[in-house]
Amino acid sequence: MPGGTTVLVTGGAGFIGSHTCVELLDHGYDVVVVDDYSNSSPGALERVAKIAGRPPAAVYEIGLHDRRALSRVFDEHAIDAVIHFAAKKAVGESVDLPITYYDTNVGGTTALLRAMHDHGVHRLVFSSSCSIYGNAARVPLTEADPADPTNPYATSKWLCEQVLADTCRYLPELSVLSLRYFNPVGAHPSGLLGEVPRGTPGNVMPYLAQVAAGRLPQLRVFGGDYPTADGTGVRDYVHVMDVAEGHRVALEHLDDEHGMRVLNLGTGQGTSVLELVAAFQRACGTPIPYEITDRRPGDVPALVADPSAVARAWNWTATRDLTAMCEDAWRFQELNPSGYPA
């Protein structure tokens, strides 16, 4: 697709979005970013430019609900495809703020869809989530397994998939790839780009990094009585560089067919919280204090991908292991103790 292909990346200053911008720029795409910086910072895009050797073609600080501003982005650039990351993504937070999650995640997606349609843009890669599978009866999970979202974040992603799939039924020119990623973690190996959540991290990996750096006293392990090998939650952690690469590969397959396709992005490897703590301790070389506490509302025991569908469809698999995830995350934390410079 490259050769002057322009990709709009919503949420491009965010954790997965910024790593994907590097991947796209490295592969000859021109990138336009929209981001409201509600859970990101312009500093990430400065690092993107430093790593890639060139900046995005344009950056717009807007929210997707700003219909006029979003339309102007499409007026000012010949957008060939869109990768839609912009969303709120914390399971725990979504239980407290369901309306915010539906308004931002579902409303933002329909606002984007409208702008795309109004400007004749028909290619979309959508950032979906393994959390749609909910309290799965068994793992690993394939795309054919039923959706059973257990929190507003997961439900918002499932609703977005319904809207996109149904829209494709009525707009045959639309091509959508919905990527259900499992748990993206890690950082760019340069140490220049990583995960910088606003305030206290909701996700386990940035929280671990801040405990290791002495910025937080200890990790609270949410639940030690799950039906898993060591009683703690099991997830399929996947390196953010693999997730970024998966999005670039998805762009190359958007024209394979019209309509919506759903694909898991994971490694197929399950890791418990305690196993992650041990791996992170090996990476950072210091003990990680933790305490096993009550379960977090909305959490499920285990989410692990069956990644075979994307391997068959694209001849692509995630390649980076848990050690690389922890080492890269720790390198970023060490080099950026307070995140990106203001």
In this structure, how many other beta carbons lie within 10 angstroms of the beta carbon of residue 88? 19
Least distance in angstroms from the C-beta of 135 to ligand WQD: 13
- Stretch touching ligand WQD by CB under 6 A, among 25-33, 186-194, 201-209, 322-330: 201-209
**Is 153 an annotated catalytic residue?**
yes
Span 93-132, contacts to ligand WQD by CB under 6 A: 129-131
For the packed helices 204-212 and 322-335, what is the interaxial angle rounded to 10 degrees? Answer: 50
- The reply to whether 220 sits near ligand WQD by the rule CB under 6 A is yes
Nearer to ligand WQD, 108 or 233 (CB): 233
- The reply to whether 304 sits near ligand WQD by the rule CB under 6 A is no
Span 172-191, contacts to ligand WQD by CB under 6 A: 181, 183-184
- Stretch touching ligand WQD by CB under 6 A, among 55-63, 87-95, 106-114, 171-179: 87-95
Least distance in angstroms from the C-beta of 333 to ligand WQD: 15
User: Contact with ligand WQD (CB under 6 A): which of 13, 273, 283, 284?
Assistant: 273
In this structure, are residues 154 and 87 in contact, taking their beta carbons and an 8 Å threshold?
no
- The reply to whether 89 sits near ligand WQD by the rule CB under 6 A is yes
In this structure, are residues 108 and 64 in contact, taking their beta carbons and an 8 Å threshold?
yes
User: Contact with ligand WQD (CB under 6 A): which of 124, 204, 260, 305?
Assistant: 204
In this structure, are residues 253 and 316 in contact, taking their beta carbons and an 8 Å threshold?
no
Span 223-242, contacts to ligand WQD by CB under 6 A: 233, 235
In this structure, are residues 263 and 315 in contact, taking their beta carbons and an 8 Å threshold?
no
- The reply to whether 84 sits near ligand WQD by the rule CB under 6 A is no
CB within 8 Å of 61: residues ≥ 6 apart: 35, 36, 37, 42
Q: Distance between CA atoms of 82 and 112, rounded to whole angstroms? A: 9
- The reply to whether 202 sits near ligand WQD by the rule CB under 6 A is yes
- Stretch touching ligand WQD by CB under 6 A, among 45-53, 70-78, 215-223, 254-262: 215-223
Q: Distance between CA atoms of 171 and 157, rounded to whole angstroms? A: 21
User: Contact with ligand WQD (CB under 6 A): which of 8, 31, 91, 141?
Assistant: 91
Distance from chain centroid for Cα 145: 21
DSSP H helices, the chain, are 15-26, 42-52, 67-76, 91-96, 98-101, 108-118, 152-170, 204-212, 240-253, 273-284, 308-314, 322-335
SS3 121: coil
- The reply to whether 160 sits near ligand WQD by the rule CB under 6 A is no
Specify burial of residue 3 (Cβ count, 10 A radius: 0-12, 13-18, 19+). Answer: exposed
Nearer to ligand WQD, 264 or 336 (CB): 264
What is the helix, strand, coil percentage profile of the chain, to 5? 40, 20, 40
Task: Single out the catalytic residue among 101, 153, 237, 340.
Answer: 153
- The reply to whether 222 sits near ligand WQD by the rule CB under 6 A is yes
**Residues lying near ligand WQD in the complex (CB under 6 A):** 89-91, 129-131, 181, 183-184, 202-204, 207, 219-222, 233, 235, 273, 296, 299
Active-site residue numbers? Answer: 153
